[in-house]
Amino acid sequence: MTAALFAGCGGGGGESKSVPVGVAEPKPVDTADPLYRYQWYLENRGQDALADTLPTTGVDLNIGTLHKDNVRGAGVQVAVIDEGLEIAHEDLAANVVAGGSTNFIDNSTDPTNFGFQGDHGTSVAGIIAAVGWNAKGGRGVAPEAKLRGFNFLEAQSDYSLFNSWGEGSSSQADVFNNSWGTPRNAPPAVSQNEVEAFEKRMQASRNGKGGIYVKSAGNSFENDRGRTNACDDAKEFKLGCIPANFDDTNSYAYVITTAAVNAKGVRSSYSSAGSSMWVAGFGGEYGGQKKYFKGDNPRSVNFDPAIISTDQSGCEQGENRNRAAPRNDLDTDASAIDKSCNYRSSMNGTSAAAPMVSGVAALMLQVNPNLTARDVKAILATTAKKIDAAQALVTFRGLTLDPGWSVNKAGHAFSNWYGFGLVDATQAVKMARTFASLPALQDTQVQTYAGAPVDIPYLNDKGGAASIAIAQAMKVETVQLGITTTHQAPANLRAILTSPGGSKSYVLTPFSAAAAMPKGSAGFFIDFMASNAFLNESSAGTWTLQLTDVRDPTKVIGAKLVTWNLRILGH
């Protein structure tokens, strides 16, 4: 579980490339919070956002009057599970719980990262709960929430994860922000016992109400960490290079898997896609300015707004330091905007999107601390805004590979890019105030296909199907499944799960960078992934999984869907 995890900001969505030095122009000072004016995701007036492209007016979290009405996350504690947290930072310290953090390297209560090139967790923390109205920096989504830091990414083990996810000094946390992931070109082997053990721990936190676990979906829509040409077809078809479903932690029932949206209100260029998505937050793009750029053939997204946040203090370390190649008017020690070098305007990735959602969750828990984790998930889903309504249907040789937005039989719109849509802070808080908690959780347990193996066809919507009948009737909250095949080229496969009501979820899309199976392998399998597309549909009836190879007729010779399994959770 805990091997080879990486900070979610890397791999295409986190740290943009350096650009040459320049001297920033001074800006007028906002004595409330001088950088708030640039925080387009909190209040978007189409203003200067320290990038060449202006944000699209109105594209923001819809904080509205919440902060003015003192809905600021007071009384809520957020755990930042990352590579560090600078607990003495001038714009964070007042919100850090004294003695409430853990450094797993030296067993102290100070997880400050003294690395030279930036501390991811400090930037994540600023998005959640930078102190507001203190004449310093900007402000967080929940500027009165309290912070605890856990440097799990620097000392990865089951012990450090458990003690970041609700045990030890994290036991008082309400929201758990996980801006990290595991970018894989093959799914891991995961046992159902492991899945259920983690989910039980997550449900037990917050005195049995369940912690709010928010996680970055990944930054691998266009990028497979250096494999040459592995993503060319995925980029051409806009299907995503590495599916979010290949990171098993994205599919846990209590995890809010979060996509990234930019300042135009559409998917950030890097944001991974998949049926395990729940909602989207703002990740922005790369926050550069052309006047500092001297490279060849820059992409337009290089100059679209990124996210303002806290950085390691001082000009000797951090993203904003005395470097020869800044990105923009802020990220340089020559900046007249921030001479302290304590802030940055280049934070991005689904690593930035997740803390946006964590901040909104803190606002919700302030107004109704009795909400369960399942309540929070339901509210976020049903109040989210459908964005990018024109997301294109993707077809290939007559087959649909990704439907874009689809509406399930319960009336909920869902997209593998955005989940249920962009979080809406005002509407989520409004619903949270009077929300009647969901009934007790029901669980079908794992149900396994008992029929004979089925041939996987080539370019065919009809064959390659196997069904499981579910007798238990409930409203679906999430669906988990596993697949076992003898197919050797998973990048060729499209897999569709169809509910008893006829709704379809594209749980695997082809043309990904999924690695071919090693010689002698029995075939492609994925032990555990999720689809959230069936929210509030009835579970009872026949569920059908259909696979087809869309790419190579020679790969289906002898290839079979051997078996699959299904678990439904709901109420």
The whole-angstrom separation of Cα 65 and Cα 57 is: 17
Question: Do the beta carbons of residue 333 and residue 322 sit within 8 Å?
Answer: yes
Inter-axis angle of helices 120-129 and 350-367, nearest 10: 40
CA angle 82, 240, 498 (to 5 degrees): 105
State how beta strands 394-396 and 343-347 pair.
unpaired
Active site residues: 82, 120, 351
| Sequence-ordered strand ranges (E) for 4-126 | 6-7, 77-81
Strand, coil or helix: 134: coil
CA angle 493, 496, 500 (to 5 degrees): 160
Distances (CA, A) of 365 to 75, 100, 129, 215, 372: 8, 20, 14, 18, 9
Exposure of 10 in the CB half-sphere (CA atoms within 13 A): 17
Nearest to 221 by CA among 252, 255, 260: 260
Burial of 486 (0-12, 13-18, 19+ CB in 10 A): middle
Strand, coil or helix: 219: coil
The whole-angstrom separation of Cα 418 and Cα 274 is: 9
Sheet holding 212-216, edge to edge: 146-150, 77-81, 175-178, 212-216, 255-261, 279-282
Question: Do the beta carbons of residue 571 and residue 441 sit within 8 Å?
Answer: yes
Q: Which helix (H) or strand (E) holds 567?
A: strand 560-570
Q: Tally Cβ neighbours within 10 Å of residue 334.
A: 15
Q: Characterize 53-71 residue by residue with b for buried, 16 or more Cβ atoms within 10 angstroms of its Cβ, and e for exposed.
A: bbbbeebbbbbbebbeeeb
Burial of 103 (0-12, 13-18, 19+ CB in 10 A): buried
Nearest to 275 by CA among 253, 257, 249: 257
Dihedral sign for Cα 420, 81, 130, 113, please: negative
Distance of CA 65 to the CA centre of its chain: 26
Question: Do the beta carbons of residue 137 and residue 125 sit within 8 Å?
Answer: no
Pull the structure tokens for residue 352: 């930035």
